[in-house]
């Protein structure tokens, strides 16, 4: 069974149809890039996947959890299997890099002795082992996004959702982040990255889906030809 | 583990935003202080009125020559009237002393004989110390043998009743307004402290924290702030009381039960307020 199944999903905000009869499947370990202009509904699709919102029509199934049947108290369990990244990083300003990452473990009730081990590993994985005590304001944009990535990965998710993760970053820094995503993907985590920056993924051998006017077009397996 | 983390987190977050915490505790302290001040004033007015009410009694003047068994019988008869607490005999001599103490003895010295009658001073049970209570007892006493005349402070007792009624109604009304205002101010203050940390709540929800895990630190924080606020309120009140007391003899502070209730009210409002305000941030 696929990791993520989206069946004929529609979502509208009042008069505006944001998603119109969308269907998409993502397998375990896949790397999918979701392209589309700003406002094309990429973020809405992301929110439907981590079930911050429910579709008006259709169904989203993530790792067996269906948007039609999931209960409110089951959502935390689902979210622990998904890592989410945003354009604005969403780090807590008054906490160090280490604390920002350990926060995700503490609030999910991870035993204390395990926290240190896993946070250190996650920070090392994104190349920030040496900046664990730095506050977000002392870090560059790219470094902040890496801390956010470490936080997303620390619970060993099976799916990483990245919503315009490089939107606030320089091209080179953005490329560094995308390379990290690929490493994460090699280690088995499926990645769904939304971006409107086509240059970033030009040379990547990944599957691309394009969202325009609320509809999915051009699902192509790049590099497979 | 969960509780330990929540307590640590509550203290850390208060330390991280010291200004916010100070403002919150200060606001809670001020609003509870106003509430407490109102209680102190009401309580003292009530105490004073109770003291005045204790003076609502009935005095039955006796015919001359009622003594011995007849007097005993009369006392017993009056003592069993519902609403009567005690009956005290005031002899002619005692009446003379009482009169002399109040008006001086020059007038009495002019008379060869003591004109003052002996009497029975009837004290009423507490809830009968009203105009109507006194009248009811008086009406039972008037027809008895050996009674010359019965007097009770009819008009001022009635006025006192109306005053107490009006004050009680007024204090309930003001108390309602003041306590509603306190609840409103405190819950909004706590809401502000929750709002200041909405980003942390959002992240907690995103990484899969359960609602209970998100709420617990806020509950502890709100409760602590509420308790600290009410503690300060009581301290300030006690300070004002200690400063005013030398100038206003007879003023009493709140009974310890009421002080405790204010503490609990502050803590509860803080705790409950945090849970109510956090609800709207949990829909992530």
Say whether A109 and B200 touch across the interface (CB within 8 A). no
For residue B199, give the nearest of A73, A77, A92 by CB distance: A92
Residue B153 confidence (pLDDT): 73
In 3D, which of B26, B21, B30 has the Cα closest to residue B194?
Answer: B21
Work out the percent of chain B whose per-residue pLDDT is above 90.
Answer: 9
Q: What is the DSSP letter of A73?
A: G
For residue B206, give the nearest of A84, A92, A112 by CB distance: A84
Residue B5 confidence (pLDDT): 81
Is A133 within a domain? yes
Q: For chain B, how many residues are written?
A: 284
For residue B213, give the nearest of A52, A75, A109 by CB distance: A109
Is A114 within a domain? yes
| pLDDT: which is higher, B14 or A185 | A185
Residue B161 confidence (pLDDT): 78
Q: Which residue of A has its CA nearest to B196?
A: A92
Is A79 within a domain? no
**Which range of residues forms the domain containing residue A108?**
93-156
Residue A52 confidence (pLDDT): 92
Position B55 pLDDT exceeds 50:
yes
Convert the pLDDT of each residue in A113-132 to its tens digit.
899 999 999 999 999 999 99
Residue B187 confidence (pLDDT): 82
Domain limits of chain B? 2-51+161-279, 57-152
Is A225 within a domain? no
| pLDDT: which is higher, B37 or A75 | A75
Is A208 within a domain? no
Residue A6 confidence (pLDDT): 95
User: Residue B240: which H helix or E strand, with range?
Assistant: helix B211-244
CA distance to B164, B238, B277, per residue, from B35 (Å): 21, 13, 23
User: Residue A26: which H helix or E strand, with range?
Assistant: strand A16-26
Is A149 within a domain? yes
Residue B279 confidence (pLDDT): 84
Task: Give the count of domains, chain A.
Answer: 1
Convert the pLDDT of each residue in B175-233 to its tens digit.
889 888 888 888 888 888 888 888 889 998 999 988 888 889 889 999 999 999 999 99
Residue A119 confidence (pLDDT): 96
Position B92 pLDDT exceeds 50:
yes
Position A134 pLDDT exceeds 70:
yes
Cα(B178)–Cα(B172) distance, rounded to whole angstroms?
10
Question: Is some CB atom of chain B closer than 8 A to the CB atom of A103?
Answer: yes
pLDDT mean over A89-99? 92
Phi, psi of A162 (to 5 degrees): -125, 115
pLDDT mean over A16-45? 91
Smallest CA–CA distance, residue A220 to chain B, in Å, is 30
Computed over every residue of chain B, the mean pLDDT equals 84
Question: Is some CB atom of chain B closer than 8 A to the CB atom of A106?
Answer: yes
Highest mean pLDDT among B54-68, B77-91, B108-122: B77-91
Is A20 within a domain? no
Give the confidence band of A223 by pLDDT, cuts at 50, 70, 90: very low
Cα(B159)–Cα(B44) distance, rounded to whole angstroms?
20
Question: Is some CB atom of chain A closer than 8 A to the CB atom of B127?
Answer: no
Give the confidence band of A142 by pLDDT, cuts at 50, 70, 90: very high
Phi, psi of A59 (to 5 degrees): -145, 140
Smallest CA–CA distance, residue B214 to chain A, in Å, is 7
Residue B249 confidence (pLDDT): 60
| pLDDT: which is higher, A29 or B101 | A29
Residue A224 confidence (pLDDT): 41
Say whether A80 and B208 touch across the interface (CB within 8 A). yes
In 3D, which of B19, B13, B23 has the Cα closest to residue B186?
Answer: B23
Say whether A108 and B202 touch across the interface (CB within 8 A). no
Residue entry with tokens 């003899």: B249
Q: Which CATH architecture is the domain B57-152 placed in?
A: 2-Layer Sandwich (3.30)
Position B8 pLDDT exceeds 80:
yes
Position B11 pLDDT exceeds 70:
yes
Residue B245 confidence (pLDDT): 67
Is A148 within a domain? yes
pLDDT mean over A52-62? 94
Q: Positive or negative CA dihedral for A61, A67, A70, A76?
A: positive
Residue entry with tokens 């470094």: A143
| pLDDT: which is higher, A210 or A221 | A210
Cα(A150)–Cα(A104) distance, rounded to whole angstroms?
10
Least confident of A95-109, A157-171, A202-216, B217-231: A202-216
Cα(A37)–Cα(A42) distance, rounded to whole angstroms?
9
Say whether A155 and B1 touch across the interface (CB within 8 A). no
Convert the pLDDT of each residue in B229-259 to its tens digit.
999 999 988 888 777 766 666 677 777 888 8
């Amino acid at each position: 069974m696929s990791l993520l199944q989206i069946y004929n999903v529609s979502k509208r905000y009042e008069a505006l149809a944001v998603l119109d009869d969308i269907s998409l499947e993502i397998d375990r370990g896949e790397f999918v890039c979701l392209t589309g202009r700003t406002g094309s509904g990429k973020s809405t699709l992301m929110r439907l996947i981590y079930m911050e919102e429910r579709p008006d029509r259709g169904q989203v199934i993530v790792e067996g959890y269906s948007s039609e049947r999931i209960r409110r108290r089951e959502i935390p369990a689902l979210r622990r299997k998904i890592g989410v990244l945003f354009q604005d990083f969403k780090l807590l300003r008054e906490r160090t890099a280490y604390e920002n990452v350990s926060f995700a473990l503490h609030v999910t009730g991870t035993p204390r002795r395990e926290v240190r081990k896993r946070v250190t590993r996650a920070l090392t994985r994104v190349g920030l082992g040496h900046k664990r005590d730095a506050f977000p304001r002392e870090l560059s944009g790219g470094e902040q996004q890496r801390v956010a990535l470490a936080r997303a990965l620390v619970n060993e998710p099976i799916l990483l959702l990245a919503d315009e993760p490089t939107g606030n970053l320089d091209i080179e820094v953005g490329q560094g982040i995308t390379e990290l995503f690929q490493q994460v993907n090699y280690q088995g985590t499926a990645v769904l990255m939304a971006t409107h920056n086509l240059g970033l993924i030009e040379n990547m051998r990944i599957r691309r889906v394009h969202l325009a006017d609320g509809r999915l077009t051009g699902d192509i397996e790049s590099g497979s030809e | 583990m969960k509780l330990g983390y929540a307590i640590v987190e509550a203290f850390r977050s208060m330390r991280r935003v010291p200004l916010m915490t100070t403002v919150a505790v200060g606001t809670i302290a001020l609003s509870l202080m106003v509430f407490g001040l109102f209680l102190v004033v009401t309580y003292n007015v009530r105490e004073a009125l109770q003291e005045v009410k204790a003076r609502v009694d009935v005095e039955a003047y006796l015919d001359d020559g009622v003594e011995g068994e007849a007097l005993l019988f009369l006392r017993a008869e009056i003592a069993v009237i519902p609403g009567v607490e005690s009956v005290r005999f005031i002899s002619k001599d005692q009446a003379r002393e009482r009169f002399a103490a109040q008006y001086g003895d020059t007038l009495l010295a002019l008379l060869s004989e003591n004109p003052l009658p002996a009497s029975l001073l009837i004290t009423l049970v507490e809830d009968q110390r009203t105009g109507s209570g006194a009248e009811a007892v008086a009406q039972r006493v008037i027809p008895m043998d050996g009674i010359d005349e019965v007097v009770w402070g009819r008009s001022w007792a009635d006025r006192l009743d109306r005053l107490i009624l009006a004050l009680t109604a007024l204090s309930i009304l003001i108390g309602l307004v003041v306590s509603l205002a306190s609840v409103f101010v405190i819950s909004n203050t706590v809401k502000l402290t929750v709002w200041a940390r909405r980003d942390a709540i959002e992240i907690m929800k995103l990484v899969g924290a359960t609602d209970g895990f998100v709420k617990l630190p806020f509950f502890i924080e709100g409760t602590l702030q509420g308790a600290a606020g009410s503690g300060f309120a009581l301290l300030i009140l006690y300070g004002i009381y200690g400063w005013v007391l030398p100038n206003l003899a007879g003023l009493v502070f709140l009974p310890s039960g009421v002080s405790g209730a204010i503490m609990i009210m502050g803590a509860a409002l803080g705790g409950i307020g945090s849970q109510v305000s956090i609800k709207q941030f949990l829909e992530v």
